[in-house]
Amino acid sequence: MRVFNNSTLAGYCREYPSADQALRLWQKVAKKAKWQNSAELKKDYPSASIVNRTRVVFNIRHNEYRLVIAIRYDRQRIYVRFFGRHMEYDKIDAATI
């Protein structure tokens, strides 16, 4: 998969240093992945929440943070839409952000 918004991920790592290692691990796995659908994604990330056909929420660092992505399986692209603590996540709509 090609992960767009890498600079955004780097910014999140600086803003949330305790999430740096876990977020970089997620990025490494996602870049190597060849997911064709949500079932394949769930094999690598069983705890991921499939919001709809284009949105997925990942628990990062033992569920301390949430990462929301938009995904295009047909184009092998991931777009980072949101990263933050649960309190911040509760203020957004993961389906539309």
β-strands 77-85, 49-50 pairing: unpaired
Q: Find the length of the chain.
A: 97
State the average pLDDT over residues 20-45: 95
Q: Are 93 and 81 in contact (CB under 8 A)?
A: no
Q: What is the mean pLDDT of residues 83-97?
A: 93
Per-residue pLDDT at 5: 78
Q: What is the pLDDT confidence band of residue 11, given thresholds at 50, 70 and 90?
A: confident
End-to-end CA distance of the chain: give it in Å, rounded. Answer: 20
* Total H helices, total E strands in the chain: 4, 5
Q: Name which of 81, 75, 80 is nearest 35 in CA terms.
A: 75
User: Which fold is adopted by the domain 2-89?
Assistant: YaeB-like fold (3.30.2310)
Q: pLDDT-based confidence at 7, cuts 50/70/90?
A: confident
Greater confidence (88 vs 6) lies with 88
pLDDT at 12 over 90: no
Q: Write out pLDDT tens, residues 38-87.
A: 999 999 999 999 999 999 999 999 889 999 999 999 999 999 999 999 89
